[in-house]
């Protein structure tokens, strides 16, 4: 099993550009989530999904969109990148909501 995979590993965007961060898992997990990690702030939840077709907002959803058309994939879209979105983004999945989550390797995003 590959576990949770994320692409790309690194990305540099200009302010106002849009892009999609990809996340996939091969563990047949129902629950998937996106976090951003900033120095001194731990991990903050952006969006999550409890199953295909179901998504909801986390703590810091503004400026991001998600969709969950399949169990395996949970892409995160930045609509119009801003320097405040410079961060490391982690995707995670879990068998069910509330159970342990398995993390991908992360995407380091810089917005200039």
Partner 1 sequence: AQSVTQLGSHVSVSEGALVLLRCNYSSSVPPYLFWYVQYPNQGLQLLLKYTTGATLVKGINGFEAEFKKSETSFHLTKPSAHMSDAAEYFCAVSDTGNQFYFGTGTSLTVIP
- The binding site for partner 1 (CB under 8 A) comprises 4, 31, 33, 35, 40-45, 48, 50, 56, 58-59, 90, 92, 97-106
Please report how close the Cβ of residue 43 comes to partner 1 at its closest, in angstroms. Answer: 4
Close Cβ partners of 3 (under 8 Å, ≥ 6 residues apart):
25, 26, 27, 102, 104
Q: Which residue lies nearer to partner 1 by CB, 85 or 107? A: 107
Please report how close the Cβ of residue 7 comes to partner 1 at its closest, in angstroms. Answer: 14
Q: Which residue lies nearer to partner 1 by CB, 14 or 98? A: 98
Query: DSSP class of residue 73?
Result: B
Residue written as token pair 């995160």: 76
The tokens describing 50, both together, are 């409890």
């Amino acid at each position: 099993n590959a576990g949770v995979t994320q692409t790309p590993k690194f990305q540099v965007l200009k302010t106002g550009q849009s892009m999609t961060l990809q996340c996939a898992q091969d563990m047949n997990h129902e629950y998937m989530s996106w976090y951003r990690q900033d120095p001194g702030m731990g991990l903050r939840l952006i969006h999550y999904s409890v199953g295909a077709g179901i998504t909801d907002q986390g703590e810091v959803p503004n400026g991001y969109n998600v969709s969950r058309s399949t169990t395996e994939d949970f892409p995160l879209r930045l609509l119009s990148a801003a320097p405040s979105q410079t961060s490391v983004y982690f995707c995670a999945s879990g068998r069910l909501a509330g159970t342990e989550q398995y993390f991908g390797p992360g995407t380091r995003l810089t917005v200039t």
